[in-house]
Structure 1
Amino acid sequence: MMKKLALGTALCALVAGAGYAQEINVKLGVLNDRSGIYSDLTGEGSVVAAQMAAEDFMAEEGGLNIEIVSADHQNKPDIGSNIARKWYDEEGVNAILDVPTSSVALAVAQITADNNGVLVNSGAGSTALTREQCLPTTIHWTYDTAALANGTGKAMTLAGGEKWFFLTADYAFGHSLEENTAAVVEANGGEVVGTVDVPFPATDFSSFLLQAQGSGADVIGLANAGGDTVNAIKQAQEFGITQAGQKLAALLFFITDVHALSPETRTGLSLTGAYYWDQDEGAREWSARFLERHGSMASMVQAGVYSSTLHYLRAVKAVGTTDGETVAAKMKETPFDDVLFGKGHIRGDGRGIHDMYLYQVKSPDESTGEWDLYTTVATIAGEDAFLPMLEECDFTKK
């Protein structure tokens, strides 16, 4: 059923198991980019992932009446904030899922806390969600900019990329990614020789790439994501930058981005992620179901929406309420052994702790199919991937 909201389009899916008593009503809002540069890696795919989580929960446990709505925040904090307020104030939403674009996520996190909901974030990257702007009702499940830096940034520096120049998306996520990666580069003997802020979103990277080309850097760090990263990589190849010997560091890169590039352009690129469809049999089985419903393999953000939604629903069932602080506390109290993210837990600051992986994109000769794109180079233990918790953000002690 489709219905029009004042601030976006909402897809409503009622998921109920026959024969179960509907004791607790749960309404989930998937808030993301449904029309812009992040729509492929979040968008409708995240709605599908949330629906799959609800269906799987009802098949396994039942006892909840689950409704899912969705809306497009257009990567704008004011629009995202207005949708979140409407959902909480007028429509009875209990938790908001996904929320890529860190500036939007940070605004929605505060609105969520004010309304005693839960922000179950998969799409945003800023570490501020569990540090400078930590809140008791924020769960940050999939990745953050520190984990990306500890993967791609560290690996490329140790491989000889000592001089870095950053092209940085000019908003909270881009600056967080640059800051975290620069710290890792310097800690491993490298240096930052220059940076330039790039308007978000952008289509023409020519002037910024030329600055990077003339900087003498070994590595051009792309502190952006989605369509911005894809466009920057394509234009760097057109200018002959990579052919001349400079390397590109796609600091946040998704399988949907890799798939969008030609084999010649993407071969050999390194990236850090939390999930890959071919990592084990459980991931392959789930990914086949997702592919059948959505038409592409899931990004790690979409996979994160599935897993974090399941964890949220299990917590609601366990505590018997949708009260935000109570549910968030239960999510932190309960370790997980997830089909897509493996064993892990949520710290007192809301940061999900699980392994991360360093991947390299396969060449056409190495690939056996359309989505056979990654070779796993290294596993980064969760405790090493993410920043340590700030004492003042440990809400289990408050």
Structure 2
Amino acid sequence: ICTNILRTLPPSDNPDFDPEEDEPTLEASWPHIQLVYEFLLRFLENPDFQPSIAKRYIDQKFVLQLLELFDSEDPRERDFLKTVLHRIYGKFLGLRAFIRKQINNIFLRFIYETDHFNGVAELLEILGSIINGFALPLKAEHKQFLMKVLIPMHTGKGLALFHAQLAYCVVQFLEKDPTLTEPVIRGLLKFWPKICSQKEVMYLGEIEEILDVIEPTQFKKIQEPLFKQISRCVANPHFQVAERALYFWNNEYILSLIEENIDKILPIMFGSLYRISKEHWNPTIVALVYNVLKTLMEMNSTLFDELTASYKSDRQREKKKELEREELWKKLDELKLSDVAALVQNNSHGLQNAAQNNNNNNNHHDNQEKSTAICADHEDPVVAMDTTEGVEIVTSAK
């Protein structure tokens, strides 16, 4: 078994392999390896199998090498590995903690380092059955695994490939210990996707699964932050996100929880629902919103009427402020235009005066040049003064 199965996986033929888009590379020697896996499974499932003897060979090293094979691109091999590991976990009590720890390490590397591991879905499927068998009360290490590993895994690349198994594990924890509901939902809200609509739809589906098993006391603790997020999803322009959020009102148990807490939830949801009923581009969403508004109105018509009046009053105030803002901008634009016109007029007057002064200076300069030319043609008279007798004698040079 070790010679044929436990091996180093070859590097991928496609370095940019995307499990969501590309076809996996199948193991060329699978017909041979499959026989060995089938032999191992029959060996583990044999009624005469004795774990006390087999533990000399099926030890931590053997399990660790099996876990490394979960990164195989061939889904057929991962499926056999899943069954083999599950049998080992069930029969070897001494290896259980080690197996959980190593799966924990694989997930942490996937989240924070490699961002890639082919066998995440299969390992989560094994964990789902393991969590189902946890004894109560849950140990601290199990709660830590939920909050430090499973919740951050929602940010992992290729979430669509393993989200169903991940959500199942989370719900299993909450069924075991309902007090974990609040930190789990707050953790999901913390990692809520901002730009990926596909992920938002998956998150909403998981939230609905959680609400299906939530206790009313736990619901009260998370209703406000949760429905604020649902309100944003309902207002999302992507119709699939809005549609998935509105489908919550088709769930009878969720409707009963909403009705019990309508005084808290309706004020949170009303503004988005009312606005979308008038503005959303998709007619299907508008129809769903009308149905939701009708359901909420039937739950508490008095509160619904108060919120309607308040919303309309707020909208009128907003419109009034908007008109005042537009008028202010219009006045500012007019003032700006008048200032520009005045500046242009002043500049034109200045240019005219400058041009006139320039013309005067040019005329004066021309006159001076003419006078100089006349003086050049005639000698200047000599003016002499007899200082002794005080008589001026003017003689001509001629």
Structure 2 length-normalised TM: 0.21
Higher helix proportion (structure 1 or 2)? 2
Higher relative contact order (CA 8 A, sep 6+): 1
Structure 1 length-normalised TM: 0.21
